[in-house]
Homo-oligomer: A and B are copies of this chain.
Amino acid sequence: MRLKEVLEEALRLAKPPPREEEELKETVNLLLRETRAEAEKTEGAVNVSLEGSAAKGTWVKGRAEADIFIHFEPTVPKERMEREIVELGFRVLERLKGRPRLMYADHPYVEGRVGEVTVNIVACYRVEPPGWLSATDRTPYHTRYVLERLGAEQRDQVRLLKAFMLGCGVYGAEIKVRGFSGYLAELLILHYGSFPGLVEAASKWKPPIILDLEGHYRSAREAAEAFPGQPLVVIDPVDRARNVAAAVAEERLAEFILASKLFLRSPSLRFFGAGPKPRRPSLTQLARGRNILAVSFRTGVKKPPDVLWGELRRSGEGVKRALERLGFQVYRSGAWTDEEKECLLVYELAYLRLPPTRLHRGPPAHHPNALQFIEKWVRSRERAAGPWVEGMRLYVLRREGMTDAVKLLKREVLEGRVALARGLIDEIKQAKITTQVTRLARNRRLQRYLREFLSARPTYL
């Protein structure tokens, strides 16, 4: 297909039909009415507003979301505001049968679902820039900034971009993804004018990329110096001290650059997650002859996804470092959760066993400790060979007692030598550690994740 056709079809898939727009509008009105009634009873709550993609008309078909913000006086202490928003959010959503649940990003908020619409009820302070008191205070200014600048045409370009980012797995600022937020997508369209314009530019990006839409800094260089080491810097138009892309992992940026190149070379609906899916080999086929180690466990307490994903990533990093410290080469690692109960940390290793012996380097022969080293090792039961001299240095070959990755990792975990997130220590101590990943696929989603992990290749390729 040619680029134009692909874009037309992709937009048809991404743009909500009038009925979806209608339904969202009705749900939003209902929510605003109910929330305002509750806010009036709440001391210090001074306003209720709609923010986010619903306010800006930039949501993607089938992903309608209403962000309802309650603005508090700056005099309200944070603890009280947080308590109020949780109670208020639960009351409103329960009344609308919205199955409320507590969420947490930098701050607590309440999520629910009314009809086809995902609802977030969020608190912020009514402040003037740059007097921010909480992480959400900028949002109303973001909404206003985008609304004032984004034309109807460009709203569709934002939808195309979001659908593309979703299709390529780089959309979403949540910890699970560490990708591009909706606001960042809107700023990119504002800056480059259109989706093809952005993709064209991104295909040539060489990080660091610096965008300063409002010219808050005198030069890109000055802006870059304000955010050292960050591969993508998009200065927030409403706050010169903030990088809107701060949460974008360098992997997601690189994947976006790569997807842009590949898309331009051969445009396809696959980049938008549409069209025929490539057939993937079975889990058994994928795992054949490879050395996979998985840590599978269940969470005891239910927690907000961002919290759970954060704990999973930190624990995953800790297990990876432990494996490396034990002497295993870790090629790749992954983490997965159904966000309810099931959790998985998964690793691909060069070997599942350590070598039977290991080289142990001693001091040089002329070093004062040389005799001590020799005396220690000559008597040691762990010695397989040596001590001998190579170069000027002493060596011995040590026999490994335990060489099995599963047993070694189990011991490290049980003895508390693995840096795990505190919230998962007990669960991981009881985890099943196995190299038989095909037997782990208890449910479809886990199976799908394992196939993704093992093929390690974007769907659009």
Contact = CB atoms under 8 A, between A and B. Distances in A.
Contacts of A392: 207, 231, 250-251, 253-254
A391 B251 CA distance: 5
Number of copies: 2
A397 B332 contact: yes
A291 B358 CA distance: 11
A261 interface: yes
A458 B395 CA distance: 12
A351 B348 contact: no
A364 interface: yes
Contacts of A387: 456-457, 461
A340 to B, nearest CB: 27
Contacts of A366: 205-207, 254, 257
A253 to B, nearest CB: 8
B332 A388 contact: yes
A356 interface: yes
Which of A255, A262, A365: most chain B Cβ within 10 A? A365
A307 B355 CA distance: 36
Interface residues of A, number: 56
A414 interface: no
A313 to B, nearest CB: 14
Interface stretch (A50-58, A189-197, A370-378, A424-432): A370-378
Interface in A381-413: 384-395, 397, 399
A329 B455 CA distance: 28
Nearest to A461: B378
A145 interface: no
B331 A265 contact: no
A289 interface: yes
B289 A370 contact: no
A454 interface: yes
Q: What is the predominant secondary structure among interface residues of chain A facing chain B?
A: mixed
Contact of A261 (B359, B371, B457): B371
A350 interface: yes
Contact of A365 (B254, B290, B378, B397): B254
Nearest to A458: B388
Contacts of A289: 356-357, 399
A147 B211 CA distance: 86
Contacts of A358: 350
Contacts of A389: 251, 254-255, 258
Contacts of A364: 254
A348 B397 contact: yes
Given A384-B290, A391-B251, A265 B371 contact: yes
A34 to B, nearest CB: 44
Nearest to A392: B254
Nearest to A455: B385
A143 B357 CA distance: 49
B397 A262 contact: no
A397 B258 contact: no
Nearest to A352: B355
B356 A290 contact: yes
Nearest to A250: B392
Nearest to A231: B392
A437 B374 CA distance: 27
B457 A385 contact: yes
A397 B456 contact: yes
Contact of A355 (B265, B350, B365): B350
Contacts of A356: 289-291
Contact of A258 (B253, B365, B461): B365
Interface in A177-213: 205-207
Q: Closest 8 A-B residue pairs measured CB to CB?
A: A254-B365, A350-B355, A385-B456, A388-B456, A254-B389, A258-B365, A206-B366, A289-B356
26 contacts: A207-B392, A251-B389, A251-B390, A251-B391, A251-B392, A254-B366, A254-B389, A254-B392, A254-B393, A257-B365, A258-B365, A258-B389, A290-B357, A290-B385, A291-B357, A331-B359, A332-B385, A332-B390, A351-B355, A378-B457, A385-B457, A386-B456, A386-B457, A387-B456, A387-B461, A388-B457
